[in-house]
């Protein structure tokens, strides 16, 4: 029987569709927000006081947060700044792929209709020797897993 080893979470890529990607635009340090919640609504049944029924209503997706070392020449950041500074919002699709040791996708999340809602740069501090981290926060409709 072959041994099974769970995949590692540090080997992944993020690809943006319809953006002029620069050389390192697919590299990120962290990706968070790949989750989905099923919202429910409580309904009380007449005459039944012991509990309330929970009825599924809709799915809810949190914002997607991407972090990486700051890039000076980035097509993704140009897209973000265009949306935030000029209110020129152009939603795109993203593909986040978890990779194996041969650079092949083990699992892929396809993010639909994403647009930036926040772009931030970590604090600059002359007393610390750290890489400057930029954070991009995206809102999106939904994702599918393949």
**Does residue 79 fall inside a structural domain?**
yes
The per-residue DSSP string of the chain comes to: -----PPPSS-EEEEETTS---TTTT--SEEE----EEEEEEEPPTT--S--EEEEEEEE-PPEEEEEE--SS-HHHHHHHHHHHH-----EEEEEEEE-TTS-EEEEEEEEEEEEEEEEEPPP-TT---PPEEEEEEE-SEEEE-
Two tokens at 47? Answer: 């005459």
Is residue 53 in some structural domain?
A: no
Query: Which tokens in the block code for residue 134?
Result: 């930029």
pLDDT in tens, 89-113: 999 999 999 998 888 899 999 999 9
- List, for residues 71-84, the tens digit of each pLDDT value: 888 889 999 999 99
In a domain, 1, yes or no: no
Span of 20-24, 94-98, 137-141, 142-146 with lowest mean pLDDT: 20-24
Contact yes or no for 144/107 (Cβ under 8 A): no
**Predicted confidence band of residue 27 (pLDDT cuts 50, 70, 90):** confident
Task: Return the minimum-mean-pLDDT range out of 43-57, 93-107, 108-122.
Answer: 43-57
Res. 23: pLDDT tops 80: no
Total domain count, the chain:
1
pLDDT for the residue 1: 58
For residue 141, tell me if it sits in a domain: yes
Domain containing 92: what range? 12-34+62-145
Answer whether residue 25 is part of any domain: yes
Residue 24 has a CB neighbour count (10 Å cut-off) of 13
pLDDT over 80 at 114, yes or no: yes
Quote the pTM value.
0.83
């Amino acid at each position: 029987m072959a041994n099974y080893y769970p995949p590692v979470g540090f080997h992944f890529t993020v690809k943006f569709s319809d953006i002029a990607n620069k050389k390192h635009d697919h590299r990120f340090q962290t990706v968070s927000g790949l989750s989905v919640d099923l919202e429910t609504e409580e309904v009380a049944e007449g005459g039944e006081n012991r509990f309330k029924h929970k009825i599924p209503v809709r799915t809810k997706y949190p914002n997607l947060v991407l972090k990486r070392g700051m890039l000076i020449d980035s097509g993704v950041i140009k897209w973000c700044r265009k949306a935030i500074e000029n209110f020129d919002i152009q939603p795109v699709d993203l593909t986040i792929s978890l990779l194996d040791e041969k650079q092949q996708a083990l699992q892929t999340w396809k993010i639909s209709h994403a647009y930036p809602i926040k772009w931030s740069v970590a604090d600059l501090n002359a007393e610390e020797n750290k890489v400057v981290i930029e954070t991009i926060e995206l809102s999106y409709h939904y994702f599918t897993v393949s």
